[in-house]
Amino acid sequence: MHLGLMASLKELKLNSNDLTGAIPLYFGNLKRLEVLALERNALSGPIPSELGQLSELKHLKLHHNEFEKSIPSELLHCRSLRELYLHDNHLTGQLPTNFNLAQSLRIGTSLSSIDLFELYLFMIPVSRTEFFLCDSQY
């Protein structure tokens, strides 16, 4: 059976499997998914905005991969999200303006743990509502 057709799947844990390439866009069709754990692989490309369609998602673990570009603002649509791990990637660009714990709680997201940076990423405050993610491999 094709993974994208498993509509009732609640947990997908493929961490530490030496996976490469991009996250398939059809992962956004896994509407009942609560846990997506893809950490410690060699996944690359942008984080798909389609993951924002996962309204039941509680735990998103994408750390220790090779993801590039910016964090998609569509992740704010994951209203059940409690944990978000994105550290140790090559993410750059602007952090979505509503993407912090205080503002997420105001718009109804129950995010309680956010870990964006360790070694490769750090945030430089530009203003009170705007942050930039920078590659800090040096």
Strand (E) or helix (H) holding 43 = strand 42-46
**Whole-number pLDDT of residue 116:** 55
Q: Considering all CA atoms of the chain, what is the largest pairwise distance in Å, rounded to the nearest integer?
A: 48
**Whole-number pLDDT of residue 98:** 61
**Whole-number pLDDT of residue 126:** 36
pLDDT along the chain (138 residues), means of 10: 82 97 96 96 97 94 92 87 86 68 42 48 37 37
Rounded to whole angstroms, how far apart are CA atoms 116 and 21? Answer: 21
Strand (E) or helix (H) holding 47 = none
Rounded to whole angstroms, how far apart are CA atoms 70 and 92? Answer: 5
Rounded to whole angstroms, how far apart are CA atoms 16 and 14? Answer: 7
Listed by start position, the domains of the chain span 3-135
CATH class of the structural domain 3-135: alpha beta
**Whole-number pLDDT of residue 61:** 94
